[in-house]
Amino acid sequence: MTAAPQEEERGTDPEGERSDPPSGVPGDDGRDGGSGLTRAYLFAQRAARALVKGVQSRWRRSLHLRVISTTLVLSLLVMAGLGYVMLSQVRGGLLDAKIDTAVNDHRAGLNYALAELQENEVGDRDRLLYNITDELTGRSGDTGLYGVVIMPSVGDETGWATGDEDTVQQQSVPQRLIDQVRQSGSEQQYHTYTRIDMDGSYEPALVVGAELTHAYELYYLFPLQHEQEILDLVQGTVALVGILLVILLGLIAFVVTRLVVRPVRSAAQSAERLASGELSERMAVHGEDDLARLAVSFNDMAGNLQEKIQELEELSKVQRQFVSDVSHELRTPLTTIRMAGDLLFDEREELDTSQRRSVELLKGQVERFEELLGDLLEISRHDAGAATLGVEPSDIRDSVMKAVGDAEQIAEKRGIKIVLRLPAEPCVAEFDTRRINRILRNLVVNAVEHSEDRDVVVSAAGDRDAVAVAVRDYGVGLKEGEEHLCFDRFWRADYSRVRTTGGTGLGLSIAKEDATLHGGWLQAWGLPGQGSQFRLSLPRSSGAELRGSPLPLVPPEIALGHNFTPVPDDGEDDG
């Protein structure tokens, strides 16, 4: 056995590490990281992240919110599609009717102008065109349904002949329509859309044109302001109705979803209370619908579960009482058998070889039987909640030395060396010395038993809040999942292994219960062929909450080898 002082090894909390502000933010030039602009940017960034996380969390947890939001989004999409189709139909209908009317009016004007030109072939042509334009313009009525433009063909220098030029500007006729009319070379009518320039103000219009003669072209300009007003009215009405309908659908979804979600939430709360141990929890039943049947089924399940749990509790009490009674009752005959065995063992030298061997076996089995009874009694105390602690301030190093001393004889027989790595300073904590000594003795003996004739390393350390002891062996190790199974009662990693210490199979179970009774942790790690390590962690002060351990659960040489992925252990911090 060798001892080597060692500094405390402390686990590093990744969340406790200092994080520098991100580079590239405004005002962060590597020297002015604490500027007001940088702090404001980081604060806004954190606030935005918190808001996004809050919304995401609310979205994941609230069925009510998801249903209402989905209903609103789908309603908006449906109303947008219906509104688009409706407006397209209304717009198309209005424009088609306007085009038919415009083409008919233009055809009537075209016929009138041709007749007038044919009847008055001789005379003042400009005066005649002016009269025709004036007549055609007058037919549009006082409201000015259309404007008339008679335009000379290319090569004629007589200029434009038009009606009220202050109202209808010649430039309102688009060039593309003029080119189309001139290229046709016939009286075929063409139309297109344009804008009428009303002294700086523009309004949409429909223009219809055709060739009047080889020298002139006739164009009608129909303002679309009335149609635009109708479209605006329809569009506004559709938008208003759509918004109101979406709001109504949202309210309907809110009410309907609430009717469904409230019983579901009530069932979830009842299930949580039932899981927490309130076996008398039941759901209220209203009506005879599916939700009511759900409540009835839940209540039936809760009632059956309560009955089964009560039966199991009664059975467990009977079993614990039976174990306790049997253990106590066996004490008396065991004491008698032990006394007789000790008497025979003291006189074994006078017996022949076979009888001497039988006496030695008798003594060993009686001792093992007595140890088993002691473990059964201890387990029954834990099961009954009758185990108590005799807490006093003690140095964990003293408990380590005592446990190593108890196992030293077994280690010497196997040729195994126990290496101690203890801190130079005292590691004082409040614990029950008897129970902690038993835990450590059990861990060291188990390590010697499974070390495959290799050294066993026992380490201890302490920090401000906790003390810890780790027992490391380099034997067969543990398979995946066995780091939890090893604390089960009567569990063995390898049933074919020959035991030399005659254990009862309850040692680690009792050790786990003793550690939990102190508010501490007893954890295991292992890999096949890499050995195993058991770590006991205790709070410095009795009753304090244990938040971390001064020793790592995974041996540093394994953790740094990048060939091991730590497995979470009961949700506890492994240091």
- The domain that holds 405 is classified in CATH as 3.30.565.10
The arithmetic mean of pLDDT across residues 167-189, rounded, is 77
If DSSP codes are grouped into helix, strand and coil, which group holds residue 396? Answer: helix
pLDDT per residue as tens digits for the range 478-515: 888 788 888 877 776 554 444 444 455 777 888 888 88
- 404 and 552 share one domain: yes
Residue owning tokens 């834990």: 382
- 353 and 411 share one domain: no
- 542 and 402 share one domain: yes
Confidence of residue 533 (pLDDT cuts 50, 70, 90): very high
Tell me phi and psi for residue 150, to 5 degrees: -105, 120
pLDDT per residue as tens digits for the range 392-430: 999 999 999 988 988 888 888 888 899 999 998 889 999
The arithmetic mean of pLDDT across residues 129-152, rounded, is 76
Domain extent at residue 333 = 290-382
- 205 and 322 share one domain: no
pLDDT recorded at residue 557 = 81
pLDDT recorded at residue 160 = 47
- 362 and 415 share one domain: no
DSSP-assigned letters across all residues of 243-292:
HHHHHHHHHHHHHHHHHHHHHHHHHHHHHHHHHTT-TT------SSSHHH
Query: What distance in Å separates the CA atoms of residue 341 and residue 360, rounded to the nearest whole number?
Result: 9
The arithmetic mean of pLDDT across residues 335-358, rounded, is 82
Number of H helices, E strands in the chain: 12, 13
Residue 483 within any structural domain of the chain? yes
pLDDT recorded at residue 470 = 94
Residue that terminates a domain, selected from 207, 231, 255: 231
Residue 511 within any structural domain of the chain? yes
Does 199 score more than 60 pLDDT?
Answer: yes
The arithmetic mean of pLDDT across residues 91-98, rounded, is 90
Residue 249 within any structural domain of the chain? no
In this structure, what DSSP letter does residue 192 have?
Answer: E
437 CB-near residues (< 8 Å, 6+ apart): 399, 402, 403
- 545 and 428 share one domain: yes
- 354 and 422 share one domain: no
Question: Are residues 33 and 450 in contact, defined by beta-carbon separation less than 8 angstroms?
Answer: no
Question: Are residues 87 and 235 in contact, defined by beta-carbon separation less than 8 angstroms?
Answer: yes
Residue that terminates a domain, selected from 344, 366, 382: 382
- 370 and 407 share one domain: no
- Which comes out higher in pLDDT, residue 189 or 496? 189
Residue 241 within any structural domain of the chain? no
- 130 and 221 share one domain: yes
- 474 and 526 share one domain: yes
- 396 and 526 share one domain: yes
pLDDT recorded at residue 568 = 37
Q: Which of 150, 250, 149 is nearest to 196 (CA)?
A: 149
> Number of folded domains in the chain?
3
pLDDT recorded at residue 430 = 92
- 351 and 430 share one domain: no
Confidence of residue 384 (pLDDT cuts 50, 70, 90): low
Residue 283 within any structural domain of the chain? no
Residue that terminates a domain, selected from 231, 256, 273: 231
Residue 247 within any structural domain of the chain? no
E strands within 60-185?
Answer: 147-152, 161-162
Does 70 score more than 50 pLDDT?
Answer: yes
Does 463 score more than 60 pLDDT?
Answer: yes
pLDDT recorded at residue 8 = 39
Does 537 score more than 90 pLDDT?
Answer: yes
Residue 93 within any structural domain of the chain? no
Q: What average pLDDT does the structure give for the chain? A: 78
Residue 353 within any structural domain of the chain? yes
- CATH code: domain of residue 216: 3.30.450.20
